[in-house]
A and B are shown apart, each in its own frame.
Chain A
Amino acid sequence: MLGGTPAHARPLLGDLPGELSGFLAVEGRVFFSDARFPGQKAEGLVASVVAEPEWYLDWDGGNQAVLFVPFARGESDDPKRSHVDIRELNYLRVGEGWELRAGIAKVFWGVTESAHLVDIISQDDAVEDVDGEDKLGQPMIHLTVPRDLGTLHAFVLPGFRERTFPGRRGRLRPAIEYDTDEAEFEAAWEQWNVDFAARWTMTLAAWDLGLSHFYGTGRDPRFRVRVRGEEPVTAANALARLRLAPVYDLVHQTGIDLQYTGDNILLKLEAIGREGQGSYRAVAAAGFEYTFYALFGSDADVGVLSEFLYDSFAAPDLPGLDGLPPAGVPPQAIESDPRLTLDAPPSPFEHDVFAGFRLTLNDVQSTVLLAGAIVDVEDGSRFWTVEASRRIGDRYKLSVDVRLFDGFARDSFFSSIEKDDFVQVQFARYF
């Protein structure tokens, strides 16, 4: 309803109605160490071009609209990271007391910063980043019914998006390559299974509450080791022969998210219970963000964040490959070895603490910086992250992200990315 097309909107597409916006970016990732595994590009620099245009048209006083957001990344090295996607292609209809969105869309649920637990509708586009905030377009019919007390959301999700994974040449992967062609599904219709979800949200004074339930193919895969070829697997040929296949199970997931908003403090909680992948699994994240406004009389704000993460499922270590006998092991023995099939998706956050700070300069260039670390309080493993951005001139934005992995136990599922510390610089032009 907000006043139709803004005055500055120009007909960029000639006579095509609607409004075009979006961004085009160049991006460089520099890994601090050389690659560890065969097949990976040895040297540190990876370059990308990224585009995400957006076309929007509304009519009927804003009660009907279509939105189209394609996405493309071209990367210099890993063909699996070069990909295109339709982030959004949907039709919106707003009626009296209801709203319907049908098509490909993106949905976010939740409140915490260090982990996104209740957020289950949209699949991770995991080759984009390690923070779980890039999502693939999800086909859906989404009905929204606002009531006096809160809002009810119902989702029918026809079609499942498989998570993206780095390829053989890519960094940020285990020693054993992912093989998405070998993906397995519990649902009989595999990736054509229809999933369902419902969510209730409400605001009570300073509290915002969300309750959700999902039934369908879980977005988090567990993994199973598969073998290519018929010959025995030896220590020498293991990395060329073994593959990590994602396994997608049918799950019931119930979630709660809660935030209290005070003067300077935000209190946050997210918790899920998941059934259908091994034993019943409970995962929770809870914490706070406290903001000091107008630091030292300037316009800058500093927020201090801390969150505790708990996961009832301990990710088992995959057995090392050194122990393979010289004569090798038959493929069948590997594929049926229960130690080589995970019961549930591995989680790096069993009992972890996130601590960080957010600096917002509130300047003309909208400079922001978020830095922090997730530390496992039992084994001491650490994941450091820095995200900073600043507008340059009127239409450009410079973003710098740093991700460091440190102190993982040698055989743990995540130890393989310990040499994949990187800094990423993105320069984007918005239009």
Chain B
Amino acid sequence: MRIIAQPRAIAVAAFTAIATALLGTSLAQTPEEKGLQIVVEADRRDLGWGDWTAQMKMVLANQHGDTSERQLRMQSLENPDPKDGDKTMIVFDHPRDVKGTALLTYTHILTPDDQWLFLPALKRVKRISSSNKSGSFMGSEFAYEDFSSQEVAKYTYKWLRDEACGDLPCFVVERYPQYENSGYSRQIVWIDQAEYRVQRVDFYDRKDSLLKKLTMSDYRRYLDKYWRAHDLFMVNEQTGKSTRLTWEDYAFGTGLQERDFTTESLKRAR
């Protein structure tokens, strides 16, 4: 799970590959098929990362320019099963009154995620409902669903057009959430054609008004294969608030195992 991660679904990929081979790409392809094909390719390029750890900083700004900072550490374990999601753990470092609070998530594709929260003052682990997908993450302009792993099957897709985004030629794909409790009617995603990286996302609320715009930049490559954006800037078009999220110290292949993603490891997470 990383923010706007490349999607993944081997079954869909295999089906699409066979369909493509049988039909040939030159044959008339519907915008829906083309949209799915782009996303499946993006997903294929991001398979096999295994595990990673990283640190994250968010700077929240309101309309008046007042800012507030959040810092946390995150670790993630890839689920090789294409029918299920990854496991993640987040530990909060800043603000200091929530230091040591930790969140464990077993993400799923269409069913709600399993989530446990550790409250260090009471030493209490609480199972919490994950259905509040559209809720704000730590008061930021990012919603919980923006953080969840972006599995292919979570959306249906439609290719809109090809156009330049910045200096790069991009695919523009619209996607429609298929999981329950999303705060969005649709998202428009700009994916660069060379490396299949998400460059920009426009989010539309349930009334189909433009809600937020996300720009992803400072992409760096890990293990010669996996691209990660280090700068994510989300602007709420309706309130004028914004959040700049930056990643640091990405480490892949750190040897994390299933036992590092349990309610027991949550209690000793630091």
Chain A interfacial positions (CB closer than 8 Å to B): 1-3, 6-8, 21, 23, 56, 58, 62, 65, 92, 94, 97, 99, 106-108, 110-111, 133, 144, 146, 151, 201, 203, 208, 259, 261-266, 291, 293-294, 299, 301, 362-366, 391, 394-395, 397, 428, 430-431
Contact = CB atoms under 8 A, between A and B. Distances in A.
Interface string B240-270: 0000000011010010100110111100111
Contacts of B98: 366
Contacts of B256: 1
A201 B54 CA distance: 30
Interface stretch (B3-11, B66-74, B223-231): B66-74
B134 A294 contact: yes
Interface string B26-55: 000000000000000000000000000111
Given A94-B268, A261-B127, A3 B251 contact: yes
B269 A2 contact: yes
Given A259-B127, A391-B95, A1 B265 contact: yes
A301 to B, nearest CB: 7
A8 B70 CA distance: 11
Nearest to B269: A2
A2 B264 contact: no
Contacts of B128: 261
A395 B95 CA distance: 7
Contact of B95 (A7, A133, A294, A430): A430
B135 interface: yes
Contact of B139 (A208, A362, A395, A431): A362
A430 B96 contact: yes
- Going nearest first, the 7 A-B pairs with the smallest beta carbon separation are A430-B96, A364-B139, A263-B131, A108-B123, A293-B132, A108-B124, A3-B53
Interface string B86-97: 000101011111
B82 interface: no
Contacts of A110: 124
A6 B97 contact: no
B89 to A, nearest CB: 7
A361 to B, nearest CB: 9
12 contacts: A2-B75, A2-B270, A8-B71, A23-B97, A97-B259, A146-B259, A146-B264, A151-B263, A261-B129, A262-B129, A391-B95, A397-B97
Nearest to B207: A297
